[in-house]
């Protein structure tokens, strides 16, 4: 089965056709779906043919969608009802679902959710210590994100010979999160109710004391929308160093730039401490995986993370790390845990979900 994978972002619509061997046999990177005339989209999709089914990346499945689902009946409406939980992401996925469905009618369409992999979080890892009515009626809990990437990377690590019992996946890109995986199941993760929680990211703050957020609104006079915009789009590396580009941060820090050095230090501090937290949730560490744009392409970040985890039995090979191209093993001799660099392949995970759903 050849699967058309649709990934709708804020500025691009990424289309990939994945065959049975997980090879991308056709691709197109288009402007955001709302900027593409229907006739142009239909022409682009026709140029990518043939394919037998469509898989859509959807960020939020809430408490309802815990696995890929065929989009039929009222499924679209139920996905749309989750928009308040992901107001920036859900409308884009729905717009792409509608546009592609109109351009290539009749093909089975499957929604694959970034939150679904974390449905296996134990209650103690998913709960917030907040009032019962918030939890039960408002759905306030830790959902986790980047599940498609974490699922693929952890499975690929096992294919490369990793022990599946204690795997920590570091998805490091513009957005970043960690996942503790035991026997293919997510047992802890750094993102929570929203993708704001956890690590320092390109423009997102990561974890901030909720009391500070409340103070900004109730005492400093900022509007909720102002705070939301700042935490989502003007924080993280950008807020600390004035740039969201990790390559520039690393270069400037190496040249002695104080702001860049602080940004890189904060990034590494949060990354190392959070990896240790994931190890604690697992009760051990057999494999440490780096994936995503930064995880795959920034040897300095991998070195700072792995190099600060000697007490957990992690040792990496500096030469292998410096030249690593996914999928690579950068483990040093004598290390108790393997250290791997794995290409992010959400497209493969989506195609896998589609095949499991429609066959």
> Is the domain of 214 the same as that of 73?
no
- Per the domain annotation, does 131 fall within a domain? no
* Tens digit of each residue's pLDDT, the chain (359 residues): 999 999 998 789 999 999 999 999 999 999 999 999 999 999 999 999 999 999 999 999 999 999 999 999 999 999 999 999 888 889 999 999 999 999 999 999 999 999 999 999 999 999 999 999 999 999 999 999 999 999 999 999 999 999 999 999 999 999 999 999 999 999 999 999 999 999 999 999 999 999 999 999 999 999 999 999 999 999 999 999 999 999 999 999 999 999 999 999 999 999 999 999 999 999 999 999 999 999 999 999 999 999 999 999 999 999 999 999 999 999 999 999 999 999 999 999 999 999 999 98
Within this chain, do residues 93 and 166 fall inside the same structural domain, yes or no? no
Q: Give domain status of residue 323, yes or no.
A: yes
Query: Residue 245 corresponds to which tokens in the numbers above?
Result: 């580009």
Q: Are residues 197 and 292 in the same domain?
A: yes
Residues in the chain: 359
pTM summary value: 0.96
For residues 84 and 33, is the Cβ–Cβ distance under 8 A? no
The pair of three-digit structure tokens given for residue 146, joined into one six-digit string: 């980047």
Q: What is the CATH number of the domain that holds 95?
A: 3.30.420.40
Give dist(CA 28, CA 5) in Å, integer. 11
Tokens at residue 304, please?
């700072």
Q: How many distinct structural domains can be found in the chain?
A: 2
Q: Is the residue at 137 inside a domain?
A: no
Residue 168 has which token pair?
């920590």
How big is the CA angle at 168 (ends 162 and 169), to the nearest 5 degrees?
Answer: 95
- From the list 20, 52, 114, 209, the catalytic residue is 114
Q: What 3-state class would DSSP assign to 44?
A: helix
114 carries an active-site annotation? yes
The answer to the question of residue 251 being in a domain is: yes
Range of the domain at 28: 3-113
Of 13, 2, 175, residue with least CA distance to 93:
13
Q: Which of 80, 96, 113 is the last residue of a domain?
A: 113
């Amino acid at each position: 089965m050849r699967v058309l994978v649709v990934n709708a972002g804020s500025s691009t619509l990424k289309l990939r056709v994945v065959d049975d061997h997980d090879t991308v046999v056709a691709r197109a990177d288009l402007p955001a779906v709302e900027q593409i005339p229907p006739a142009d989209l239909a022409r682009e999709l026709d140029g990518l043919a043939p394919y037998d089914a469509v898989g859509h990346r959807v960020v939020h499945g809430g408490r309802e969608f815990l696995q890929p689902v065929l989009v039929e009946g009222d499924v679209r409406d139920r996905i749309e009802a989750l928009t308040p939980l992901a107001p920036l992401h859900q409308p884009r996925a729905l717009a792409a679902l509608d546009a592609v469905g109109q351009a290539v009618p009749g093909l089975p369409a499957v929604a694959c959710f970034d939150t679904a992999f974390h449905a296996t979080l134990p209650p103690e890892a998913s709960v917030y210590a907040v009032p019962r009515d918030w939890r039960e009626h408002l759905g306030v809990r830790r959902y986790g994100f980047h599940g498609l990437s974490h699922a693929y990377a952890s499975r690929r690590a096992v294919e490369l010979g990793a022990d599946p019992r204690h795997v920590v996946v570091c998805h490091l890109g513009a957005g970043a999160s960690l996942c503790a995986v035991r026997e293919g199941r997510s047992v802890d993760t750094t993102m929570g109710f929203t993708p704001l929680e956890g690590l320092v990211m390109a423009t997102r703050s990561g974890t901030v004391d909720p009391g500070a957020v409340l103070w900004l609104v109730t005492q400093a006079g900022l509007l909720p929308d102002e705070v939301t915009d700042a935490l989502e789009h003007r924080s993280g590396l950008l807020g600390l160093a004035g740039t969201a580009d990790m390559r520039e941060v690393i270069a400037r820090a190496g040249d002695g730039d104080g702001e860049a050095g602080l940004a890189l230090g904060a990034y590494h501090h949060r990354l190392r401490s959070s990896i240790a937290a994931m190890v604690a949730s697992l009760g051990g560490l057999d494999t440490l995986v780096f994936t995503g744009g930064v995880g795959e392409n920034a040897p300095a970040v991998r070195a700072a993370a792995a190099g600060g985890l000697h007490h957990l039995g992690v040792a990496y090979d500096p030469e292998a790390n410096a030249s690593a191209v996914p999928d690579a093993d950068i483990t040093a001799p004598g290390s108790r845990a393997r250290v791997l660099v794995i290409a992010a392949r959400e497209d493969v995970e989506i195609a896998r979900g589609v095949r499991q759903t429609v066959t």
